[in-house]
């Protein structure tokens, strides 16, 4: 982000790079111009151009006449003429390039509007300048509060002190006309200073504050763009962009200035395209344009009534059909022109990333499945089975090698079923559902029934 406090150091240098605004990244000096004529000497009997470009806070630049014939270089802090008093700024350009810049911006070389450079700033001038600059932030917070108290529909975006500390300029934005006469009185009473109100546009506000755009770079208006041209939605239509205000608007809330950058190239490319509203007359029927691709130079047409079937033809073929229609002739069909073009070639894209897939992190993690109690019994080793305590069964030796849980359970169920037959009690659904509490009582029955210890023995019936 561009440094908004350039030149606020005690030594008159930018606070960010401390290199007089000539650092490699150029992030602490906005709207700079590289002096490519600095190493060239002037011809004989030629005087140097007596104007210099001076920069103030947030990229504000003006041209001043060097009437005292001072030896100025880029980065010098100078005292310039102001009304009233004097202002403190930094020299950003000298020599013949200043003449070119003034001619480009149509700045006057003579007249009452031409201001002068008084002197190089002394240490006292720089101290007054820095102390007044430190008052800007707390004063801006208080000024916004006073504007809110008066219910004024305006936003005070920035405050700029004059170099001698005698005047403060309040920059504000508003959508409608604002009556700030009472506000100026409150400011003068609160701050005890001469006040100047200056309304700026939303684009100028963004250029003064700076920021990062959606492209990831610094805002063009705060780095190099000086003239703000009007941008309309027609620029987005010619470039076939979706008319989404959230994507087309910049940080200032207006349409992005970069929509005009490539507009001329699109307009030149569209000259070879026929008008979209022209319908192609064929023997099969009339065809209407559905879509255009400026980069590939192709157009899609569909017959009336068959809107789902699109035919892609080149612009030269479309112009040929239009020329035939003007002569009163009709083309056979769009299929003939589609077959002549080789636009259906498929391109095989290779994976240049490598062996790893880009979606390898999108796969969900597999949860660990819990094992069933029967599977857990299979995994247990023989040593674990040997270490288990033996139960008080007289026939325990016969069943050591086998899994006792699997063989004893069906036997106990059979025994219980036979006992139910002997007692001749009616079996209901409740008995089947309540098998689990009966299984808990099995260890107690084993101690009292000696016949249950055998595998093939069945209980004897009473005589």
Q: Is the pLDDT of residue 238 over 70?
A: yes
* 190 and 280 inside one domain: no
Q: Give the C-alpha separation, 211 to 203, whole Å.
A: 12
* 266 and 277 inside one domain: no
H or E element at residue 208: helix 202-209
Indicate whether 383 belongs to any domain: no
Indicate whether 59 belongs to any domain: yes
Which domain-ending residue is among 271, 294, 326? Answer: 271
* 25 and 10 inside one domain: yes
* 253 and 285 inside one domain: no
* 191 and 277 inside one domain: no
Residues 26-52 have pLDDT tens digits of 445 566 777 888 778 888 778 888 899
Number of domains in the chain: 4
Tokens 């409740």, located at residue: 430
Highest mean pLDDT among 22-26, 317-321, 432-436: 317-321
Residue 235, number of CB atoms within 10 A of its CB: 21
Q: How confident is the model at residue 348 (pLDDT cuts 50, 70, 90)?
A: low
Q: Is the pTM of this model over 0.85?
A: no
Q: Is the pLDDT of residue 438 over 90?
A: no
Q: Is 76 exposed, middle or buried (0-12, 13-18, 19+ CB in 10 A)?
A: buried
The residue-averaged pLDDT of 65-85 equals 90
Q: Give the C-alpha separation, 372 to 10, whole Å.
A: 77
Q: In terms of residue numbers, what domain contains 325?
A: 273-340
* 116 and 2 inside one domain: yes
What pLDDT is attached to residue 174?
A: 92
Which domain-ending residue is among 87, 122, 157? Answer: 122
* 88 and 176 inside one domain: no
* 74 and 5 inside one domain: yes
What pLDDT is attached to residue 399?
A: 45
Round the average pLDDT of the chain to a whole number and report it. Answer: 77
* 289 and 264 inside one domain: no
Q: Which two tokens stand for residue 418?
A: 């036979």
* 3 and 117 inside one domain: yes
């Amino acid at each position: 982000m561009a440094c908004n406090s350039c030149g606020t150091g005690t030594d008159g240098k930018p606070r960010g790079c401390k290199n007089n605004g000539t650092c490699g990244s150029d992030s602490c000096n906005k709207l700079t111009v590289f002096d490519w004529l600095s190493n060239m000497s002037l011809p004989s009997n030629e005087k140097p151009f007596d104007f210099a470009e001076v920069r103030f806070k947030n990229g504000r630049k003006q041209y001043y006449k060097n009437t005292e014939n001072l030896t100025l270089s880029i980065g010098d802090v100078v005292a310039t003429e102001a009304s009233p008093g004097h202002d403190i700024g930094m020299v950003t350009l000298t020599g013949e390039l200043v003449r070119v810049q003034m001619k480009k911006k149509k700045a006057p070389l003579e007249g009452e509007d031409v201001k002068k450079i008084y002197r190089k700033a002394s240490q006292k001038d720089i101290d007054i300048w820095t102390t007044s600059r430190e008052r800007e932030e707390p004063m801006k917070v208080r000024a916004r509060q006073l504007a809110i108290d008066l219910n004024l529909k305006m936003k005070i975006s920035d405050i700029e002190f004059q170099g001698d500390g005698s005047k403060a300029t309040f920059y504000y934005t508003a959508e409608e006309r604002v009556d700030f006469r009472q506000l100026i009185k409150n400011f003068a009473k609160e701050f005890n200073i001469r006040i100047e109100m200056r309304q700026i546009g939303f684009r100028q506000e963004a250029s003064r504050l700076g920021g990062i755009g959606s492209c990831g770079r610094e805002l063009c208006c705060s780095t190099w763009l000086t003239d703000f041209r009007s941008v309309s939605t027609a620029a987005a239509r010619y470039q076939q962009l979706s008319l989404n205000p959230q994507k087309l608007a910049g940080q200032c809330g207006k349409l992005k200035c970069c929509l005009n950058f490539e507009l001329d190239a699109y307009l030149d490319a569209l000259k070879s395209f026929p008008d979209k509203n022209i319908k192609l007359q064929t023997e099969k029927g009339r065809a209407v344009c559905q879509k255009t691709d400026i980069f590939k130079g192709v157009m899609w047409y569909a017959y009336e009534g068959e809107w789902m079937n699109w035919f892609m033809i080149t612009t030269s073929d479309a112009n040929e059909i239009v020329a035939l229609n003007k002569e009163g002739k009709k083309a056979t069909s769009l299929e003939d022109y589609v077959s002549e073009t080789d636009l259906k070639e498929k391109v095989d894209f290779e994976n240049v990333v490598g062996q790893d897939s880009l979606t390898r992190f999108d796969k969900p993690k597999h949860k660990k499945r819990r094992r069933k109690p029967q599977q857990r019994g299979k995994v247990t080793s023989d040593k674990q089975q040997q270490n288990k305590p033996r139960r008080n069964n007289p026939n325990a030796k016969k069943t050591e090698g086998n899994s006792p849980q699997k063989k004893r359970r069906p036997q106990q169920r059979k025994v219980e079923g036979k006992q139910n037959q002997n007692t001749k009690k009616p079996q209901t659904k409740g008995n089947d559902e309540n098998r689990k509490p009966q299984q808990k009582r099995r260890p107690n029955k084993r101690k009292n029934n000696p016949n249950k210890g055998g595998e093939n023995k069945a209980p004897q019936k009473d005589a």
